[in-house]
Structure 1
């Protein structure tokens, strides 16, 4: 068998040459999500790349791409030290994608993860590897940790995020039967009372104008609740303007609004990719909040997606209670870290473990001091998950 050809891209000017073969490999991998498409990765690098250095590892056999590590090197301050950290492209800014991974031809994860890590070990200019938002169910995870151990990187794994999702049945009526009686009845009542219409962005409209409407709704909701909202950041808005236009060209973009009296009072922005809807961002007019426009729109979007044959509604990161009125399952993502084998590596790895314990204690304390859910809601949620 011919030995694989390994290339490491450290020059940003070489990144555009990957268009085409990257998505072909992604489709042959078990890691195929919208956040690993070349359109998403290159848009991130165009907007945020000036502050980082690419470290993209490619493995080819007979000219065909069979494995890739979409990584960057970014300077961080940890424990009072300046650390050059290897991370997935896409992390470290407000964009916040989920389900990042090494991209490896399905069935060859164990073999090719070793090749990728071997190449990274030989690369100069980094001190620590920190791969966040890695799916806990990824077939890459165990080979990755084994390869890190072999490379003396002392891997340390911890839970990163919880991502609720809803498996969509064939009809809206079937889904309604899976909802609790009270929630189903109240949702129907809110729809009737609001009397609003679902309006989609379509190819004849400006993507930027539709996204601007969504951003206004999102900012209004966030600022009224005392939070800033990410669309106030010029780079965040620039990223989504570019990516939304590219997603529209690919047929992935899903922008929907709730209209009443001729104006949008709520909006949802996401992507339909490989049968899954990724619910990325939303917003509503705070002056219409008493009529629950956000909840009404969410139900109408779910009903619409069922009609389009979409198989899953992925709420993405965050176990907020309103998601579990609908979601019937959740996935965890992980963070896998390791220090390069140097004199400082072992003590710094120990500090990582102590910091992780501190985070767990703070989360548990926050959970203990948070106002409890009503007992009836807890019973209903437990019953739904027990039968899922």
Structure 2
């Protein structure tokens, strides 16, 4: 930076003054909070459960169950009696582990001794309650480690509060700086481009067509091409509207639209192109300012003069009678020595709402050639979701073809999150898995082509796939081909069983569990349920019955709020009907004496069958075990379809653990554009939020119950 010290200081203050002030204020607020807050103490006691010989998993299962009743019911009453009052019991939490029969009981309070007494009283009450039921459960409990009086408060911690306040201030100040708060508004790129286009039209006498479809005088920007302005004749009478799909091609014989005989030149570094003899847009330092020019900058002129050539001597792009190729897929080898084309790679980006419906045959064919495809990438599921939840103009359907055949595809939507433009998968939170499709026979080159195509799609900073399976195409191939930064963040836990017959699966269970499950299987067989699969023509009626049963079984309890909305019913009806017709789903109905008592929807992917949704009459639970009933038909379905896995999908509920399932942790895939502070902030916030969630699960399990109650209240409002 040049200038006097005073001007340098003024520039620094103008650029970073607001950020520094807000950071200091945040640190001061954190420090004051740490000083004035009342000290709180934490004490932990541990209870261990012991099962009888031959029951290694019974203790773990009952630890999960007992952990849920620590803060209410007879355990809390017994602890209150021992303490003489209920003071401090409302702040007690219990934490369990999925692989250890230990329950951690944590008490929080403002008095150190009282806090330890509360933790010990609850631990003893729980141990007594579990031991009293040993004859029924074959599991006993005892206090493994009593709580000790804490020597120092657990909070506040002034240094930590100071650091948190400073970090919060830094984040707020950074966001304010990104949005331009405190700075004089500069001339935006859009304004500059609009002025450039107007000047170019006046100088050339032609209309200027930009590469953004259906939005005249809007620049289509990418990582390597700033803009492409092409002079074309005025539109003829009766001509149709411009196409809604934006396409480019890497094949010399399949160029994008350009005027016959036009000669386009690539600027140094690939910053821009122009029609020879016409106007162009040049990128200034940092890419922040551009100008309309029929001339070259001083540095470029001087370099050309030193080399003994003029700016018109720069090497032009390939001529073609029909036009020129725009944004070639440079990572895909398209020719042999000598320049003869071997194969034609092409990319199409569609944004119109009818795009998904129109590519059904191609999408279904590619789905069958992608081994990692899950049921939530089927055409029926995505199309139904988009018709129900999609918003016009937000679809980004990226299609990569080789010799006209679809070899890679991504169905995405553009959303605004945290001041950042994000691409997320079509299917949203209703899909347990999100992914892209890549042809197995062309995995690496197709993934590279898809990564390059995504990089050339404008208007986004981060691609966010919240739930991908381990080994997914996005988490392996796409991240490997992406040229920028990427992050893999742990997401939801799924429990999976091998696709085997029910009898074979039961035979591998521990002794007592095996006897219990066999008894439940015999109960189901003796009940004489009539089981049938639903046809595609019956799907609308059957899905309505399924949702009615699902609502009744959750009556008075916390249910997924979306499952009780009319939009979800429309989506599920349309998706199930088409998926059954395509062999990608089966809906089982269970009748007793002619009355429908249970219903279950299983979805089918390339290598897994997933139990997506079920409903049962509450009275049926008193007669049979619902999980055993559902698995008795879903497991054989996986075997018939040749799948390796039967997935219980997201969630680690205790009733699933008795089957000894394998744990499969989903991954959140983040692809970040280079040079975007907003993208960096978004990725950092996602990772920090995940770390906070994991910490809260371990230390504050009550927060999850509070979140579920709030969701249930929202679901009970308008829109149900």
Q: Give the TM-score category using the shorter length.
A: 0.7 to 0.9
Quote the offset at 1:271 in angstroms. 2.4
1:168 aligns with 2:499: yes
**Who is 1:353 aligned against?**
687
Partners of 1:261 and 1:212 in 2: CA distance: 21
The partner residue of 1:105 within 439, 447, 455 is 439
**Who is 1:70 aligned against?**
411
The partner residue of 1:44 within 385, 401, 404 is 385
Partners of 1:12 and 1:306 in 2: CA distance: 34
1:155 aligns with 2:486: yes
The partner residue of 2:600 within 236, 256, 268 is 268
**Who is 1:379 aligned against?**
none
Deviates more, 1:207-216 or 1:292-301: 292-301
Is contact 1:187–1:296 with CA below 8 Å preserved after alignment?
A: yes
Is contact 2:492–2:665 with CA below 8 Å preserved after alignment?
A: yes
Partners of 1:307 and 1:13 in 2: CA distance: 36
Quote the offset at 1:219 in angstroms. 0.7
Distance change (3 Å), C-alpha of 1:348 and 1:133 = closer
Partners of 1:303 and 1:123 in 2: CA distance: 42
**Who is 1:86 aligned against?**
423
Partners of 2:536 and 2:346 in 1: CA distance: 45
Q: Which runs of 5+ in 2 are unaligned?
A: 1-341, 705-720
The partner residue of 1:291 within 601, 620, 623 is 623
Partners of 2:603 and 2:629 in 1: CA distance: 16
Question: TM-score when scaled to structure 1?
Answer: 0.82
1:328 aligns with 2:661: yes
Distance change (3 Å), C-alpha of 1:176 and 1:128 = same
Quote the offset at 1:157 in angstroms. 1.3
Quote the offset at 1:86 in angstroms. 0.2
**Who is 1:182 aligned against?**
512
Partners of 1:186 and 1:229 in 2: CA distance: 34
Question: TM-score when scaled to structure 2?
Answer: 0.46
**Who is 1:385 aligned against?**
none
- Over aligned residues, Cα RMSD in angstroms? 2.8
**Who is 1:119 aligned against?**
453
Is contact 1:254–1:269 with CA below 8 Å preserved after alignment?
A: yes
1:318 aligns with 2:651: yes
**Who is 2:89 aligned against?**
none
Quote the offset at 1:319 in angstroms. 2.0
Equivalent position SS for 2:554: helix
Quote the offset at 1:163 in angstroms. 1.8
Match runs of 1:335-346 below 5 Å: 335-340=668-673, 341-346=675-680
Quote the offset at 1:63 in angstroms. 0.8
Partners of 1:334 and 1:360 in 2: CA distance: 14
Quote the offset at 1:228 in angstroms. 5.4
Is contact 2:537–2:577 with CA below 8 Å preserved after alignment?
A: no
**Who is 1:256 aligned against?**
588
Is contact 1:23–1:37 with CA below 8 Å preserved after alignment?
A: yes
Quote the offset at 1:177 in angstroms. 0.6
Equivalent position SS for 1:223: coil
Partners of 2:589 and 2:460 in 1: CA distance: 45
1:4 aligns with 2:336: no
If you compute each CA radius of gyration, which structure gives the higher value, 1 or 2? 2
Q: Which runs of 5+ in 1 are unaligned?
A: 371-388
Partners of 2:506 and 2:518 in 1: CA distance: 10
Is contact 1:198–1:256 with CA below 8 Å preserved after alignment?
A: no
Partners of 1:369 and 1:6 in 2: CA distance: 46
Equivalent position SS for 2:459: coil
Distance change (3 Å), C-alpha of 1:34 and 1:299 = closer
1:279 aligns with 2:580: no
